[in-house]
Amino acid sequence: MIVRCHGGKVKLRLRLDHQVKFGEHHAVIGSADFMGSWKNHVSMTWTESGWVADIEASPGDRAEFKYVIVAGDGRLTWEEGPNRVLDVPSGGSEIVSQWENPDLVVTTNGASAEAHVEAPVHEKKDKKEKAKETVTASSDGDMSFSQGWQGKNVAFMKANEHTSRQGGKWETAGLDGAVLRIVEGDKKSGNWWRKLEVVRELLTDDLGKADRLDALVYSSTYLKWISTGQIQCFEDGGHYRPKKHAEISRMIFRELESIYSDKTTTTTTEERVVIRNIHPCLPSFKAEFTAAVPLTRIRDIAHRNDIPHDLKQEIKHTIQNKLHRNAGPEDLVATEALLARVTKTPGEYSAAFVEQLKIFHGELKDFFNASSLTERLDGLRPSLDEQQLSVMDNFMEKKKKLDEVGDGGNSDMLIGAMHALTGLRAVLLKGLESGLRNDASDDAIAMRQKWRLSEIGLEDYFFVVLSRFLNAMDSSGGAKSLSGEIQSKSTSKWKQPLGGVVLGIRQLGLSGWQQAECLAIENELMTWEKDGICGKGSEEDIRMWGLRLKATLDRTHRMAETYSDLLLKLYPKRAQNLGNALGIPENSVRTYAEAEIRASVVFQLSKLCTVLLKAIRFVLHTEGWDVLMPGIACGKLFEVQKIVPGSLPSSAEGPVILLVKQADGDEEVRAAGPNVAGVILQHELPHLSHLGVRARQEKVVFVTCDDDDKIKEMRSLLGKSIKLESSSVGVRVSTQGAEQGASSTARETEKGAHDEASVSESKVVKSSSGVILDLKDADLATAGAKSSACGKLATLAELSAEEQNNGVSCKFLVPPGLVIPFGSMEGALESSGSMDTFHDLLEQTETAQVEEGELDGICNQLRELVSSQRLPKSAMSKIAEGFSSDARLIVRSSANVEDLAGMSGAGLYDSIPNVKLSEPEHFCKAVAGVWASLYTRRAVLSRRVAKVPQKAASMAVLVQELLAPDLSFVLHTVDPIDRNAQIVQGEIAAGLGETLASGTRGTPWRLSANKVDGSVKLVAFANFSEEFVAGRDGVADGKVSKRVVDYSTKKLSVDLEYSVALGQRLAAIGTFLEKSFGCPQDIEGCVVGEEIYIVQARPQP
């Protein structure tokens, strides 16, 4: 790309085809002023086609330079080898290079002259040995095959100088399974068809589910490295024409399609993702390539009389003979290099020769499935009906217009092209839906491969168009322009960006990724875009519009992260195993997964969501922070993946602040270490989640941040002492005064721990085996605080209908229940003769070490022992008197070490829903499972911290009728952040309460209601992807199912009057219960139709 600048200079674009880790970027540094004079580097920008830098220089200037990797902390990693040399042209080209490969230079046409990048002096070879070739990108915007080539450069020869493999690396120590088979197979397989056969044998074996995924991932990686030249192919005496390769490819394709199209549950999403990466690495098996002697045109070209003898020899020995003996991807690279050479100077060679070489090049691209998208789609025309052709012609017309404007194109053009593309891809996938018949002809299978590669190519092209759309958005003002329009009460500028998100989501669904989730997000975005700003466009109306849209965009962003996490789970370790065994360059191994992520539609979709979320933050006047526990914390900043033991390095002494990538919401806030003074979580979290509650209990400052730019800023402070200040006004992170405040934070934390220890003296009265209590008879000593509170709730429910708050009824209901009291577990252990073993294991939990898994082992034995116990028949008979045999029930923990003022124990112990008495084994297992939850590792460690002896802990079980709620909620009757006693804060989720308690990623609806004046403020909209539901049919086995939520159908998201009315009712009930119990309450309940049920109330932490 050349742009003429002022003063006679030109703008020259350098492009580097290389991947780096997240947080790193590329730069160029060189001898000339325009490259930093070896002192300052010129940063490069990531694009869909690589890293680019635009530099201004004068024609004729010369510079030596290198590419570097810039780490997050500013450190530079220089590419190996001698300096590159650049001669600046007078007019036009984009220079494409590869990391640590100065010989291979790709120049795309842009003007009359070419920029020239010399090979380093000591790398220059005699013509007979090596010719450095320049390859031009195809005119319709598709990349040439050579641009992805990372193998050896083409060496044109005038005699048969092809060599067999000399040495190699096949390190098999520590390998097994699929990777071992590939490495051992590669050692025996020099040429391409043999390597394909290794993959065929692996994939067509009868593999188990885990082994099959392993085989697919390793095959995908192996084939990718072959097709890019990082695994070389050699002649090894096993001479076969390309027909052999085509036949092997057809067998692999059939197996892949059989797996991909399987309608049963045996094929996983992970497998489908990987299979899509394998298809482009296989050769074609069309009829012309399975003929006895395929690709014969090159033989005729090599014997033409209108080209020089030396050129004939080069064609014959470099391409013709090699192709017909041992075809491999390097043959296409050689042909592209030859074509570039003979077309470099127009008229140098006969037009007829050049034309035949171009035709052969097209045939070879077809064989290697390296054709451009336009060429692939044109090849489908004979197989399409009239309607399908119409859809394709619509897309092709729009693609042609985009190609004509190069990197430009306005938003209308780009959105139109994405719409047409998505429609065409849907048509192709519909045609592929039926799967591959066992009796399908070879021609039908070959055509199916064309369809499959075309729809994959469309997905790849969508990545390009979406990237250009992002560039167009940036040029028109980006996030600030979008937010500015909202101030004029218009959302018209948001139509196209939201349309881009919808189309990106649709692409993921077409690829088989979380299709129900994709459909729900699509419905939400289309509804929010259609509704626009409701009401009269007041500040509150704008706030509601922004919060609702933010919830769905956060959900979209989260789904993109899930896709990235999947690739990071599938590839890095396996790429390392295979790459190290085969001697692949370390950088290619290290960045393999990152390269897959950056090349996916998800990458661009995530970027688009980031821009829109940034615009919404401008609209809402927020900075991406959310405060769960206010205060001041000081300490060194460390980044961890999760809050789990062992996540902190041994060097993390003294107070620390955690920068946490992910939390589920049910972790212990100090699980990473007792010296945790503060937490910064990189995504939103429910305020009333168990993790949020524990942070407030233990006085650990806790904030969340969903602003990517701020996260990057904080990463620059890793390892430094910082001060984290948070309040209802905002959040501030600084490096000032960290040491001064560290001790005060630690003292406050220590005080909180001692406060909790006082609960260890609570008394327990154990009942004899077989006793069952009515809910109203349950008290603290016999059944624990939860059962006792539910008994009192049942009594209060009868009085609530007569009470009002601000004219709103306080009425609520309580589901009927019975209690299996303290002592029942011990009675079961006594009856089974297991009491001595139980006491011995329990005593060991007091002193067992966390390190090396000692405590884990003892806890596992304890839980296994307790889980095997069963209620006596007398107890089951008494429970049966309280419920019908087919009633769906929930068994809930009611320990003496939970739901207390000094120890809430929130989330530590299990509740198991969806059991019934007519299936007694499932019911009894659920009861035993609740007993056993007393001895999880987390529960034992929690009691240690609170200085509660393990033998002092007892478990009763509360049995209640299971409700089928529309909504579940948690209320705090005093604002947990600023302790405002006039405010009731509620968090609400669709379906069963497990959504709020289980640590599901996402946010709930958040309501803030004033007890005094009855005002209600909706603070956040829900975006949990799923709700938990308990079916009324089928086995009641203690399990619940999940159902994807579409919030465009949820009343609480679309009817603001309903949200106000619900908030007022919850505030009235919360106020009534607070007065009744005499202190602020942490309340759990649900909405079933028009009724509100309360299932739990305990002192608010």
Catalytic annotation, residues: 690
260 burial type by CB count under 10 A (0-12 exposed, 13-18 middle, 19+ buried): buried
Supply angle C-alpha 367, 368, 373, rounded to 5: 95
Looking up tokens 């579409």, which residue turns up? 1046
Spatial contact of 387 and 430, defined as CB atoms under 8 Å apart: no
- For the record, the structure tokens of 620 come out as 């809402």
Backbone dihedral angles phi then psi of residue 135, each to the nearest 5 degrees: -115, 135
First to last CA, the chain: 63
Supply angle C-alpha 158, 160, 162, rounded to 5: 115
Distance CA 369, CA 999 (A): 45
Compute the Cα dihedral for 504, 49, 566, 458 and give only its sign.
Answer: positive
Distance CA 1005, CA 1058 (A): 13
Q: What radius of gyration, in Å, describes the C-alpha atoms of the chain?
A: 34
757 burial type by CB count under 10 A (0-12 exposed, 13-18 middle, 19+ buried): middle
Spatial contact of 86 and 63, defined as CB atoms under 8 Å apart: yes
Looking up tokens 């190699």, which residue turns up? 168
* Alpha-carbon distances of 52 from 26, 42, 67, 580, 724, rounded to whole Å: 9, 10, 11, 30, 37
What is the CB neighbour count within 10 angstroms for residue 127? 10
- For the record, the structure tokens of 776 come out as 């109203």
Backbone dihedral angles phi then psi of residue 979, each to the nearest 5 degrees: 60, 30
What is the CB neighbour count within 10 angstroms for residue 920? 17
DSSP secondary structure string for all residues of 85-117: EEE--SS-EEEEEETTEEEEEEEEE-SSS--EE
DSSP secondary structure string for all residues of 1014-1070: --EEEEE----SEEEE--SSS--BS--EEEE--GGG-HHHH-HHHHHHHHHHHHHHH
Spatial contact of 949 and 940, defined as CB atoms under 8 Å apart: no
Coil/strand/helix, residue 154: coil
Spatial contact of 295 and 363, defined as CB atoms under 8 Å apart: yes
Distant-in-sequence, close-in-space partners of 1036: CB < 8 Å, separation ≥ 6? 888, 889, 914, 915, 916, 918, 919, 922
H helix intervals, 494-585: 495-510, 515-531, 539-570, 572-582
Looking up tokens 């799967």, which residue turns up? 435
Compute the Cα dihedral for 921, 926, 927, 931 and give only its sign.
Answer: positive
Compute the Cα dihedral for 848, 850, 856, 862 and give only its sign.
Answer: positive
- For the record, the structure tokens of 577 come out as 């195993």
Distance CA 1002, CA 392 (A): 39
Distance CA 156, CA 312 (A): 11
* Alpha-carbon distances of 306 from 312, 344, 353, 354, 870, rounded to whole Å: 10, 18, 7, 10, 93
